[in-house]
Amino acid sequence: MNNQAKPSDQVDQELVLRVQRGDKKAFDMLVIKYQHKIIQLVNRYVKDPSESQDVAQEAFVRAYKALANFRGDSAFYTWLYRIASNTAKNYLLNKLRKTPQYEIDIQDAEQLENLPELQCLETPERLLMNDELLEVLKLTIASLPEEMRMAITLREFDGMSYEEIAETMSCPVGTVRSRIFRAREAIDQALSTLLDK
């Protein structure tokens, strides 16, 4: 009974320490513990089941790579949730990046109907939800103040580093980070509003 008395956060912390010392099996235990929760989270953003599995997998890979820097300032699951949420949002941004004829100035929502990625989805409901997510994403980016829109566009659509963006926008790297952070917050809020409907 005493073994089960440990709070979940404490167990996670011990597993994290083991991973940081090189114990890969300890990370497997964290994956097993949280994989269903992470897949459920990713499914809120990514409606194609096979793609949501890939995005969840990518989130765990990113978490594993970043675990050396995890200091325990928050609970492990809170930290993992954030990584998975950002990975899912990056996936949506990447879909927009590949959208033919995409422009930040929104012209016509109907152009999304021809996306091959959306056509392979199983049901009209899934198609509609992906369509809505992409449209909300586009509208949110378009509605950002110019300096935020430019920073997030250069980062997510042009793949520039923070340093390159700072040079392009003639401002400090810290300002770039702040603008991108605020842009991502606005995107997060807009997507959350849609997902919580």
d(CA 122, CA 118): 9
- pTM of the model as a whole: 0.56
Rg (CA), the chain: 19
Amino acid at site 62: R
Q: Please calculate the CA angle 131-55-107 and round it to the nearest 5 degrees.
A: 25
Q: How many residues does the chain have?
A: 197
Classify residue 76 by its DSSP letter: H
Model confidence over 89-125: pLDDT tens digits?
A: 888 888 776 655 444 334 444 444 444 444 444 455 5
Count of CB atoms within 10 A of residue 38's CB?
A: 25
Residue 188 class from Cβ within 10 Å (0-12 exposed, 13-18 middle, 19+ buried)? middle
Q: Which domains does the chain have, with CATH numbers?
A: 1-88 (1.10.1740.10), 98-197 (1.10.10.10)
Condensed to tens digits (0 to 9), the pLDDT of residues 139-153 reads: 888 899 989 988 988
Query: The tokens of 125 are what?
Result: 């409901």
